[in-house]
Structure 1
Amino acid sequence: MTRIAALALSVCLTVPCLASGLPRSSPEDQGIPPSAILEFVERAERRIDALHSVMVVRHGHVVAEGWWAPYDPGTPHELYSLSKSFTSTAVGLAVAEGKLSVDDRVIDFFPDEAPDEPGANLAAMRVSDLLRMSTGHESEPSLRAADDWAEAFLAHPVPFKPGTHFLYNTAATYMLSAIVQRATGETVLDYLRPRLFEPLGIDDPRWGTSPQGVTLGGYGLSVRTEDIAKFGQLYLNHGRWEGEQVVPESWVGAATARQTSNGSNPGSDWDQGYGYQFWRSRHGAYRGDGAFGQYCIVLPEQKAVIAITSGVKDMQAVLDLVWEMLLPAMGPSPLPPAEDDRAALEARLAGLTLAPPEGPGSNATAERVSGTTFEFPDNPRGIESVTLRPEGEGTTLAFRVDGEERRISCGHGSWREGRLAFERFPEQPAAAAGAWTGDETFTARICFDETPFVASLRLEFSGEGLLLDSEANVGFGPTGHPRLVGSPAGGSAP
């Protein structure tokens, strides 16, 4: 069965799906008109490029869920900084077990890594300062190039008194992970397995580590969309899950409360205060979130949780759409059945897909250049050549990178799934689609569907040469690459 077929079977708005851990319900039974959710999806497609999944939970029941193919319900998605809220949970559990206190000094956990004569501000920094992003730093410590990440953090200047200056600081979350490991003897991932992941039925969570073998903490966790929703429901339930107190209620309250001020713009969901690795939001909500639009939104007043994964540049736009379309639709009582609207919503959710390139699968240029190898001068990306060939109902691009062949098999009008090594990135799950978007231009999109990233390649066969442009949908820096200009191997015209 393909993942797209599995997606169609997974959409169950009215039939309970007990094996997943969260029961299903119709939107109407939980006080939400299906038309409001449908309009949310439609507006997301018009305004936002692009959501990858959405799951709406009300009163503990999933009332709507959908994945934009090639994303699907069974594949984990990288969470980026949404990972921080899970690390906070590990700290709370360790505090409850008496392994540490939020009032403990940070340097006391790292006697070998701390400076011989720590400054007064560093010496005063406590676990609570790490949790609320008030370490006293003026700039975030850079850890990746360091030989020892904890040592690099502790060597970074601390010009402000801890607790007085908010600075979003992923390195601080790494230190929380390292502290949990020092205090418990286990990585945060291993520590959370029996205490959080297994009770919630979160299977096979993946989380990277530093060179020192410490769970990254501030990023790097990958789980499924429903796992995000379960985590939010746990917090909405004040730490209880299926009758058991999985996380102390006192920790849930402290972690999601406003622990520090971080701005004054009433229209920004990033200026509403910060808790213990959770953001306060407008409308009485709170959330964990991660780069490029990974969200676990908890609305206590509405008894709702919204889980979203995406690859977006404007994260505020996603929250604005939630407040605009979903929040006001959550009524206090069940609604009469709306079969036609619900059927329309089910059909729309089952057919969601990221748009593949539009155009014919072949044309005169395709026939002219098929099988011709175009070579490129030396370039920082190591791309030596590319050859385009028809393949069934699609097209294969054969790249040669640093002496190795890398094949991209593109479906036409649909996503072709598999694994590929792209440029100098290692082999990983991906799906690709392509089309002739102009008389001389072939465009391919490559979706790395365990991540937010979608790459676009544009091959323009201009005259006897080839112009290659590429760009990613999102990134932490520039998303485009300089154009490469290729020519037929041996100098002969195709």
Structure 2
Amino acid sequence: MMKFYKTITLILTIALIFSACLPSKSIARPVAGPDYWPTQNWQSSSPEQQGMDSAKLADMLEEINQNKTNIHSLLIIRNGYLITEVYFHPYTQDTKEHIQSVTKSVIGMLVGKAIGDGSIKSANEKLVSFYTNRTFSNTGAKKDSIRLKDLLSMSSGLDCQEFSGTGTTMEQSPDWVQFMLDLPVTTTPGQQFGYCNGNAHLLSAILEKTNHLNTRIYANQEIFQPLGIPFVSESDWGADPQGFSLGGFGLHLRPKDLAKLAFLYLHHGKWEDQQIIPASWIAESTTQQTKKEDGSGYGYLWTVYPEDGHYAALGLGGQQIHVYPQKDLIFIVTAGLPAFAEAPEIEKMLGEFILPAIQSENSLPENAAAFSRLQKAVEFAANPLQPIPSLPDVALNISQQVYKFEENPVGWQTLKLDFKPGANTAQLILNDSTPVQVGLDNLYRLSNTELFVDLLIRGSWTDKTTFVIDYPYAISGPIKLGELGATQISIKYSEDAIQTTIQPLIFGGEPIVFNGVKINN
């Protein structure tokens, strides 16, 4: 009983402190201290133990599996306990995902840390004050008035708008920081939302100038290491031509690392016995500073939703962190979806399954049948093995036959496929190189050859003459699981000829189509 009263007293004290200092519009809310800190590992629990319904979560996973929605991972944490952890084949808990624009939210954390440490005075400091010895174009009162908070809230007024499709981009320039500083100011700083990678990149450069330390190293030392997030190398967080860590994208982390960052924010910047980021910064950064075109709010490199009391870090293709302080809920998802920010598939997961699954602030009776369904859906996501279908007649007719292609953009010269009745793999040989394994049982197979390193592919016959290969990468990008990209390669056979169609799946685009003819072995 005494422990109960002490706990209540502590919670009330925390609530009084935060109610006095939180901005009125902040979504951050006081939460009880966790039972443990997941520095080493997350502790697991059934959904029912944390007041959630396993049946709803099982429904969600079964639908994702059935629809083959391109989700890579999914984590749900309530009251500090991991209640659902799903990795969709071939992704695993160790896959480092390119978190795209969630990188921006990490930059925002680091700015808060730097302000707390005193290396940056405040978010009201002027952009130009950090570049007094640099000459740049389009100077004037408006540019002189740009504050760090305007960069943080995507309201700098600089003539930069992502996805506009016009003009030279920062990433095409030889000096990214100079490119941004040279831009004209087209709207009054602090007044209008304008999404721009360069705003966050300027902040990364400023962090390096003020800390005299590369931003990636600063993040490793000041945030990642205390949270137990493994050291992030340069290969997992690149830099611009001048060596400044990418501010708008580029960071690669594991899903559980993202969950730790969310947990840090949920607990107002505290981790174990350290106040890593000032609580006041958590509050300010989750307060609506500007409004986005879709009606949602924007804080300091976080999207905020005042109407339902949550904030989110949103990255291209469905890399997302969602934090619901009043529900003590964290939702992490990585994916390969055709979405620039909000993804309808993820909105449905939250609106129809995850939030309705919350039924109580207290434990619920265990539901063994529903929990069993949930576990089976989790297992199927990780290992979606399916029976090997019978081969069509054409598979054996073309097996080991060599086809020569016309000149094409991907540099394929010859192709040979080798099928054997009843086998769970086929072999693909491109340009007379070492064979690549192709899974035929819905599982990807790993190959390492002189052309490909850590290549994962699977395939299936979609009709009597068409073999389709699933390639979980961009056709022109690196062969690295976790990069945003997925490609479908269709090979259609017709007598002694083939037609190959390479189709990008995530953001579409024109397919690459080229033909080939059978040659004598």
The normalised TM-score by structure 2 is 0.82
* Equivalent of residue 414 in structure 1, options 430, 442, 458: 442
In the alignment, is the contact (CA less than 8 A) between 1:102 and 1:126 conserved in 2?
yes
**Residue matched to 1:52:** 72
Determine what percentage of the aligned residue pairs are the same residue: 25
CA distance in 1, matches of 2:37, 2:157: 48
**Residue matched to 2:303:** 279
For 1:418-445, what per-residue CA distance to the aligned partner results, in whole angstroms no more than 9, with x for missing partners?
35699xxx95544211122222111111
For 1:60-110, what per-residue CA distance to the aligned partner results, in whole angstroms no more than 9, with x for missing partners?
110111111111112111111111111111111111111113222222323
CA 479–419 in structure 1, closer or farther in 2 if over 3 Å, else same: farther
**Residue matched to 2:97:** 77
CA distance in 2, matches of 1:159, 1:430: 46
**Residue matched to 1:309:** 334
CA distance in 2, matches of 1:356, 1:399: 26
For 1:402-424, what per-residue CA distance to the aligned partner results, in whole angstroms no more than 9, with x for missing partners?
xx9485421111323435699xx
Consecutive unaligned residues in structure 1, runs of 5 or more: 1-15, 264-269
**Residue matched to 2:278:** 248
**Residue matched to 2:483:** 451
**Residue matched to 1:347:** 376
In the alignment, is the contact (CA less than 8 A) between 1:386 and 1:399 conserved in 2?
yes
Aligned-pair RMSD on alpha carbons? Answer: 2.6
Counterpart AA for 2:181: L
The alpha carbon displacement at 1:134 in A equals 0.4
CA 47–273 in structure 1, closer or farther in 2 if over 3 Å, else same: farther
**Residue matched to 2:189:** 162
Which piece of structure 1 moves more, 175-184 or 112-121? 112-121
Consecutive unaligned residues in structure 2, runs of 5 or more: 1-35, 162-167, 474-480
**Residue matched to 2:429:** 398
CA distance in 2, matches of 1:419, 1:256: 45
User: Within 5 Å, which residues of 2 pair with 1:55-134?
Assistant: 55-100=75-120, 101-111=122-132, 113-115=134-136, 118-134=139-155
Counterpart AA for 2:313: G
In the alignment, is the contact (CA less than 8 A) between 1:17 and 1:23 conserved in 2?
no
The alpha carbon displacement at 1:480 in A equals 4.1
The alpha carbon displacement at 1:142 in A equals 1.3
In the alignment, is the contact (CA less than 8 A) between 1:456 and 1:470 conserved in 2?
yes
* Equivalent of residue 511 in structure 2, options 481, 484, 487: 481
CA distance in 2, matches of 1:77, 1:71: 9
CA 427–299 in structure 1, closer or farther in 2 if over 3 Å, else same: farther
* Equivalent of residue 438 in structure 1, options 463, 475, 479: 463
CA distance in 1, matches of 2:434, 2:226: 41
In the alignment, is the contact (CA less than 8 A) between 1:21 and 1:200 conserved in 2?
no
Counterpart AA for 1:103: N
For 1:158-215, what per-residue CA distance to the aligned partner results, in whole angstroms no more than 9, with x for missing partners?
1111111211111111111111111112222100112111111111432111121111
The alpha carbon displacement at 1:301 in A equals 1.1
* Equivalent of residue 464 in structure 1, options 496, 500, 519: 496
**Residue matched to 2:348:** 320
CA distance in 2, matches of 1:138, 1:357: 52
CA distance in 1, matches of 2:397, 2:66: 37
The alpha carbon displacement at 1:285 in A equals 0.7
In the alignment, is the contact (CA less than 8 A) between 2:503 and 2:512 conserved in 1?
no
* Equivalent of residue 317 in structure 2, options 292, 308, 313: 292
The alpha carbon displacement at 1:157 in A equals 2.0
In the alignment, is the contact (CA less than 8 A) between 2:45 and 2:83 conserved in 1?
yes
CA 438–309 in structure 1, closer or farther in 2 if over 3 Å, else same: same
CA distance in 2, matches of 1:17, 1:447: 35
**Residue matched to 2:18:** none
CA distance in 2, matches of 1:192, 1:48: 36
CA distance in 2, matches of 1:99, 1:246: 14
**Residue matched to 2:51:** 31
For 1:129-161, what per-residue CA distance to the aligned partner results, in whole angstroms no more than 9, with x for missing partners?
110000103433711221111111112221111
The alpha carbon displacement at 1:241 in A equals 1.6
* Equivalent of residue 217 in structure 1, options 242, 247, 252: 247
For 1:144, what is the secondary structure of its paired residue?
helix
**Residue matched to 2:404:** 375
For 1:201-253, what per-residue CA distance to the aligned partner results, in whole angstroms no more than 9, with x for missing partners?
11143211112111111111111111111111111111112232121111111
For 1:461, what is the secondary structure of its paired residue?
strand
For 2:64, what is the secondary structure of its paired residue?
helix
CA distance in 2, matches of 1:204, 1:415: 31
For 2:506, what is the secondary structure of its paired residue?
coil
In the alignment, is the contact (CA less than 8 A) between 1:358 and 1:435 conserved in 2?
no
For 1:209, what is the secondary structure of its paired residue?
coil
